[in-house]
Structure 1
Amino acid sequence: MERLQSCSFQYQLSICGHRTLKEVCLPGRYGRVIVSSNDNRFVIKTLRKSELKVYLEMLPNYYRHVKKNQASLLRKLYGLHVVRPAGGIKVYCAVWGNMMPSEICIDKCYDLKGSSIGRACSKTIVEDRAILKDLDFDFCFYLDPLVRARLLAQVKYDCEFLEAEGIMDYSFLLGIHIEASHEGSIDENASRSSSAKKKTDDTSEQNESSELTLADICDLLDRPGFKFGDRLPARAVRAFRNEMESKSYRSCTSAQECFKVLLIFGIVDFCQNYNMKKRIEHACKAIKYDSKSIKTVNPKAYSSRFQEFLSAVFLPEESD
Structure 2
Amino acid sequence: MTTTAKRLSKPPVARHHTDVDSIASSDEEGFQRELSARRKAFRRLSRHNNETDDEDRVLIGTRVSEGHQNYVLMYNMLTGIRIGVGRVSAKRDRPLTDHDFLAAHKLVFDVTGDELTPGAKYDFKFKDYAPWVFRNLRKQFKIDPADYLISLTSKYILSELGSPGKSGSFFYYSRDYRFIIKTIHHSEHKYLRKILSEYHEHVSNNPDTLLCRYYGLHRVKLPRGRKIHFVVMGNVLPPHNDIHEMYDLKGSTFGRFLPQEDIEKNKNNAVMKDLNFEKNNKKLQLGPQKRKMFVSQLIRDVKLLVRLNIMDYSLLIGIHNMVRGNKENIRDSTLQFFEPDTKRAERRASLMNRRQSKAQVYRKAIAQTNPDRLDASELPDEPLEERRNCIFYSDDGGFRATDENDEPTSVLYYLGVIDILTPYDTKKKSEHFFKSMTQDKHAISSVRPSEYGDRFMGFMANAIEHNQDIPHDYQLSTSSLNTQ
CA RMSD, aligned part only? 3.6
Give 1:150's aligned amino acid: M
Matched, 1:89 2:232: no
* 452, 463, 466: which one aligns with 1:316: 466
Contact 2:156 2:173 in 1 (8 A): no
Secondary structure of the residue that 1:111 maps to in structure 2? strand
Measured after TM superposition, the shift of residue 296 of structure 1 is 0.6
Partner residue, 2:389: 225
1:34-86: CA deviation from partner (whole Å, max 9, x where unpaired) = 11012222001110000111111111110110110111100110001101134
Partner residue, 2:112: none
Contact 2:254 2:443 in 1 (8 A): yes
The CA distance in 2 between the partners of 1:317 and 1:34, in whole Å, is 35
Partner residue, 1:153: 296
1:153-212: CA deviation from partner (whole Å, max 9, x where unpaired) = 1111000000000000001011000124xxxxxxxxxx6x66558xxxxxxx99xx9xxx
The CA distance in 1 between the partners of 2:166 and 2:258, in whole Å, is 22
Q: Structure 1, unaligned stretches of length 5 or more? A: 181-190, 198-204, 210-223, 237-249, 251-258
* Residue correspondences, number: 259
Give 2:289's aligned amino acid: L
Secondary structure of the residue that 2:440 maps to in structure 1? coil
Please, which moves more after superposition, 84-93 or 107-116?
A: 84-93
Give 2:271's aligned amino acid: I
Percent of residue pairs identical: 32
The CA distance in 1 between the partners of 2:214 and 2:168, in whole Å, is 16
Higher RCO, Cα 8 Å, sep 6+: 1
Measured after TM superposition, the shift of residue 118 of structure 1 is 2.0
Partner residue, 2:428: 278
Contact 2:189 2:229 in 1 (8 A): yes
Partner residue, 1:287: 437
Give the direction of change, closer, same or farther, for the CA distance of 1:87–1:67 in structure 2 (3 Å limit).
same
Measured after TM superposition, the shift of residue 314 of structure 1 is 1.7
Partner residue, 2:410: 260
Measured after TM superposition, the shift of residue 20 of structure 1 is 7.0
Measured after TM superposition, the shift of residue 136 of structure 1 is 2.2
Contact 1:178 1:194 in 2 (8 A): no
Give the direction of change, closer, same or farther, for the CA distance of 1:30–1:146 in structure 2 (3 Å limit).
closer
Partner residue, 1:34: 171
Secondary structure of the residue that 2:320 maps to in structure 1? strand
Please, which moves more after superposition, 142-151 or 114-123?
A: 114-123
Matched, 1:136 2:276: yes
Secondary structure of the residue that 2:390 maps to in structure 1? coil
Higher strand share: 1
Partner residue, 1:186: none
Matched, 1:115 2:237: no
Partner residue, 2:209: 72
Matched, 1:296 2:446: yes
1:222-241: CA deviation from partner (whole Å, max 9, x where unpaired) = xx9333254212169xxxxx
Please report the TM-score for the alignment, with normalisation by the length of structure 1: 0.71
Contact 1:109 1:131 in 2 (8 A): yes
Q: Structure 2, unaligned stretches of length 5 or more? A: 1-85, 92-143, 330-380, 469-484
Contact 1:172 1:265 in 2 (8 A): yes
Secondary structure of the residue that 2:177 maps to in structure 1? coil
* 213, 235, 238: which one aligns with 1:98: 235
The CA distance in 1 between the partners of 2:218 and 2:88, in whole Å, is 22
Higher helix share: 2
Please report the TM-score for the alignment, with normalisation by the length of structure 2: 0.48
The CA distance in 2 between the partners of 1:120 and 1:13, in whole Å, is 39
Secondary structure of the residue that 1:119 maps to in structure 2? coil
Measured after TM superposition, the shift of residue 3 of structure 1 is 10
Partner residue, 1:48: 185
